Structure 1
Amino acid sequence: MLFVVLGLVVLLAVGAGTAWLVAGGGSATDSGSGGGAGEWSVPLASADSMDFTQGLAFAGWLTDKTVIRVQRDGVLAYDLTSGKRAWGTPSPGDQLCGATSGLTNGKGAVAYGSDQLCDHLAGVDAATGKMTWKIKIPAEKSRLANSLTVPRIMDAGDVAVVYANDVLSGYRLSDGAKQWTAQLPQGCHIKDMNTAATRVALLLDCTFEGSGGLVQVLDPKTGKTELRSKIGELSLMSLMLSADPLIVRQEEGDKSTFTVLDDRGAKASEFTTGKVDMLAMNTVAFVEGMFEQRRYLVQGGRLYLTTFPENVPGKARSSDKVLAFDLKTGKQVWESSGTQPTMLNLVRADDHGLLALEVGDWRDLPPRLVRLDAATGKAAEVAQLPQKYGTEGDDARVFERNGAVVIVPWTPVAVKHAVVYVHTKES
């Protein structure tokens, strides 16, 4: 059983040193299966290992020229056109142990350390792989044998927000300069947090002070408090689901309540759903915390959720549905099952609707890129991918750009590839 501990990741330590766990480059093919105009993939060298921490990805980054995978032994970039290794930067310490989820102006940050202490942060230039700065950050040794406690790292504009050893600080991505350390109300602790380009949103538990829950918003450049809002008593499973707009999710049994706050901290809407899927896609055995990646999207005044997965009768796979909610009214706009009974991985949303990957099954159902209509949720196939990549996109970061689908699995559980690239006939 896994217990979520904010900001902490526990990695199974497996001795000193690292091994390059991903093959040197992709194997390019011109496959006629599934409509792929151009296709390559990178095998995951640790796919058959029972130590699932070996191939765990801390981040998947996409630039104009490369897809970048940040994992335990280093940061690896692959050319989008050919799949060849563009560059590779090994961890400066025994292992990497965290990363910003995205890039800002081509810059990201990674955490690294020894096999016992994750106590450094480094800046990464995504164009070259060069680590442009390195600093020491707060850290603590795990109380558990053969494990490592590491920080949660999130990006907020050009600032890396780091939560470690009960300390929340902001570091400038350009040079690693410390910008601030957060000040919390007395008697309160951080239960969850999230970031946006211009905002750091904290969900605080102040039960011992008699205040219940608070939402506190910080300026990522200065760390100064911009607003505080009382949210009432918090349930055990409470999340700061979104920083912009501010959305708090609380779970009670098989129901979830979502509270939306406006920019002044006042309640804009509140609605309750049935059981939705808030399981983290990037956790494996011996790994707890990180910035957890979940199956939902917030875009254009909409909250897109997925229902809890159910088994497909007669098949060795699960399926779910997408729910769309209007954040102003709290009303459900539509429910969609996609085009096939399978899991859906949400890629992005815009005015035209929601783009998603139907994960499929390598046995009998090819993955499909589908678009769910903004008004109705009706699903239409955009492109079909080769069947051999079925299930690779289940627990994965999925990108789409100009007809190219890029899949970066978070974990090595039940997958064989570190990166999958398919250029479809759609553009």
Structure 2
Amino acid sequence: MTDQSPSGPPQDQPPTPPAPPVPPAGAQPVYGYPQAPPPQPQPQPGYGYPAQPQQPGYGYPAQPPTVVADGGTRARENRAITLTVLAAVVAIGLIIGSGVWYARSSDAGGTAHSGGGRNGTATATGGKEKVPDNPAADVAFKVPEPKTEENVVTTPGSWLSGRVYAKTGIAEITGYDPDDGTKKWTLKLPGPVCAATEHLTADGRTGILYQPSMPTKTDRAGCTQVAGIDVRAGTKLWTRSVGTGDFATQFSNVTVAGKTVAVGGLGGGAAWDIGTGKVLWQPKPGDDCKDSGYGGGTRLVAVRKCGTYGNRTLSIQNIDPTSGKVISEYKMGSGIEYAGIISTDPLVVGADAGHSASGGSGVSDYFSLDNRTGRLLARIPVPGDTYDGECDTITVVEACKGVIAGQGKLFLATKEHKGSGKSSRTNEIVAFDLATGKQTGQRAAAGEDYALFPLRMDGGNLIAYKKPPYDKGGQVVSIDGGTFRSTTLMELPPDMAEPRVQTGLLPGLAEYRYAQGKLFMAAPNAAKPLGSFDKDKNCVVAFATRD
């Protein structure tokens, strides 16, 4: 491919975010400046109902939606910072701070689910998950964590497609029989996988980002290689990059929409046909605007940035995945530097508006947008000390967890809080209407000493995982989208040995794939053991119901 990257050092390195400036005397408050909080509505009963969301557009200058009728191929810049160091620093912090990993739980290879329910409780129509006669599950197989002397090696990516469950290892991807873990194939790579997407085509194809060589103490190659992967066959369809050698563009995230593999980063975005590797678009030198990343699935949505840090404008663009033509655009308010895509259909993004996110969530508001026109439908403020949804939007666009959008609603887990018992803890999942931004009044309770974590949609139902107390097994449940009643799809072994296995692969930090009575938990990193207590960690633990 033609090298479109100019020589010289990477541009637009992200500085440490400065404290918000104080507005001049008499200035009207806008995002990016500290300001008095808006009047709070009266709370609704129940945890997770502290306040009704403010009206759409609050804190933003009035603006019409931007609808673009034409566009052509996408324009991007050409250099990005090295993801490897950032990922390692973040992962080391996670391991040292908690001893476990978090990553977004997601769809199980496009397989959806439903059923008639148990004990007289019926699940909502539109789902495809079968409710088993006996939800009790056993361990189907385990895959030990790959051995490494590195503090952290990234191993993101796990997929379930047809009769294959595939998981990334160190510089390789392995396909397993989903029933018993028998190896079906192993695809070797020259370097570690940097980023992967949960999205698959109908025939089991996906895209990955990887390094061109194994890192050493003196040389840590950036994430420059993009590949199309056939998960069912265990083959690499093609490998591409933008530029070569030291001048190859580095990317930080990858996704799949339709037949397109799209990658983005601080240097801009690029895309290829997933079957042939034909280039669809790539960064252009000198462009002040660039695509930092994309959300995939049934649609392709770009997070497009113009300008430099501290003086940047951000747009959310619904684009044609083949031509790159912009279908519609929404311009975010000033003071928003980053955004994460929750869903492309319905289109929902999360952002830290005015550096106001609390509780370490990285997101202060969710924005519901009209895909066709780009119009803002609703803005949903989410206090981080009340809700558990999180977004890491600085380098990865599709990295939000604890929040799912579908069927016209936003499903959000609350923070764990005191239960009815003396020392019990619990939480809920609540729903917001994406058209109005208001809470629907629907609330699913986890139960004493359990905590709910949303995984994905199943037609009109929500699939969620219930993190258990120390003496119980976790559960996979289907929450009816209408009644919000929970139906148990799987109950993991309650004995003490298996909860210890599960503890290192908690929801939100691990990759969860659930489909038709099978649950796969997988770690997105591997690390050198910190001591004898974690020398026997697993990369994958798979469970299956007994019927």
Query: TM-score, structure 2 length as denominator?
Result: 0.62
* Aligned: 1:277 with 2:277: no
Structure 2 counterparts to residues 14-413 of structure 1, below 5 A = 35-36=136-137, 39-46=140-147, 51=150, 53-54=152-153, 56-91=154-189, 93-104=190-201, 105-112=203-210, 113-114=212-213, 115=215, 116-117=220-221, 118-138=223-243, 150-164=251-265, 166-181=267-282, 187-190=288-291, 193-205=294-306, 212-236=313-337, 238-251=339-352, 252-254=356-358, 256-262=364-370, 263-275=372-384, 276-279=387-390, 289=396, 291-292=398-399, 294-309=401-416, 320-333=427-440, 334-360=442-468, 363-387=470-494, 388=498, 389-391=501-503, 392-394=505-507, 395-411=509-525
- Per the TM alignment, residue 383 of structure 1 is displaced from its structure 2 partner at its CA by 2.6
Q: Distance in 1 between matches of 2:286 and 2:454?
A: 36
- Per the TM alignment, residue 179 of structure 1 is displaced from its structure 2 partner at its CA by 1.1
Deviations 1:268-319 (A, max 9, x none): 22222322334469x9xxx97484252221111111122345688998x985
- Per the TM alignment, residue 352 of structure 1 is displaced from its structure 2 partner at its CA by 4.8
| Matched pairs, number | 391
Deviations 1:303-361 (A, max 9, x none): 1122345688998x985432211112212122333234344332322355322111225
2:4 counterpart residue number:
none
The verdict on how the C-alpha distance between 1:403 and 1:277 changes in structure 2, with shifts beyond 3 A counting, is same
Q: What letter matches 1:123 in structure 2?
A: G
8 Å contact kept, 1:299–1:350: no
Q: Distance in 1 between matches of 2:265 and 2:383?
A: 34
Q: What letter matches 1:202 in structure 2?
A: V
Q: Distance in 2 between matches of 1:179 and 1:149?
A: 18
- Per the TM alignment, residue 214 of structure 1 is displaced from its structure 2 partner at its CA by 2.5
Q: Distance in 2 between matches of 1:233 and 1:418?
A: 42
The verdict on how the C-alpha distance between 1:238 and 1:120 changes in structure 2, with shifts beyond 3 A counting, is closer
Q: Distance in 2 between matches of 1:298 and 1:185?
A: 36
- RMSD across aligned positions (CA): 3.9
Q: What letter matches 1:373 in structure 2?
A: D
Q: Distance in 1 between matches of 2:82 and 2:163?
A: 32
Q: Distance in 2 between matches of 1:319 and 1:390?
A: 18
- Per the TM alignment, residue 35 of structure 1 is displaced from its structure 2 partner at its CA by 2.4
Q: Distance in 1 between matches of 2:309 and 2:491?
A: 54
Determine helix, strand or coil for the equivalent of 2:379.
strand
8 Å contact kept, 1:7–1:290: no
Q: What letter matches 1:271 in structure 2?
A: I
8 Å contact kept, 1:108–1:173: yes
Q: Distance in 1 between matches of 2:502 and 2:191?
A: 34
* Runs (5+) with no aligned partner, structure 2: 1-14, 18-79, 90-133, 528-533
8 Å contact kept, 2:242–2:282: no
1:28 counterpart residue number:
none
Query: TM-score, structure 1 length as denominator?
Result: 0.77
Q: What letter matches 2:502 in structure 1?
A: G
8 Å contact kept, 1:36–1:424: yes
209-218 or 127-136, larger mean C-alpha shift:
209-218
Determine helix, strand or coil for the equivalent of 1:58.
coil
Q: Distance in 2 between matches of 1:353 and 1:365?
A: 25
8 Å contact kept, 1:59–1:102: no
8 Å contact kept, 2:407–2:460: no
8 Å contact kept, 2:309–2:337: no
8 Å contact kept, 1:170–1:178: yes
Residue identity (%): 21
Q: What letter matches 1:53 in structure 2?
A: V
The verdict on how the C-alpha distance between 1:233 and 1:158 changes in structure 2, with shifts beyond 3 A counting, is same
Q: Distance in 2 between matches of 1:139 and 1:318?
A: 53
8 Å contact kept, 1:354–1:374: yes
8 Å contact kept, 2:298–2:344: no
Q: What letter matches 2:334 in structure 1?
A: E
Q: Distance in 1 between matches of 2:408 and 2:336?
A: 25
2:539 counterpart residue number:
418
The verdict on how the C-alpha distance between 1:229 and 1:44 changes in structure 2, with shifts beyond 3 A counting, is same
* Runs (5+) with no aligned partner, structure 1: 14-32, 143-147
- Per the TM alignment, residue 42 of structure 1 is displaced from its structure 2 partner at its CA by 1.6
Determine helix, strand or coil for the equivalent of 2:401.
coil
Higher RCO (CA < 8 A, seq sep 6+): 2
Determine helix, strand or coil for the equivalent of 1:264.
coil
| Structure possessing the higher radius of gyration over alpha carbons | 2
The verdict on how the C-alpha distance between 1:151 and 1:42 changes in structure 2, with shifts beyond 3 A counting, is same
Q: Distance in 2 between matches of 1:7 and 1:218?
A: 27
Q: What letter matches 1:134 in structure 2?
A: T
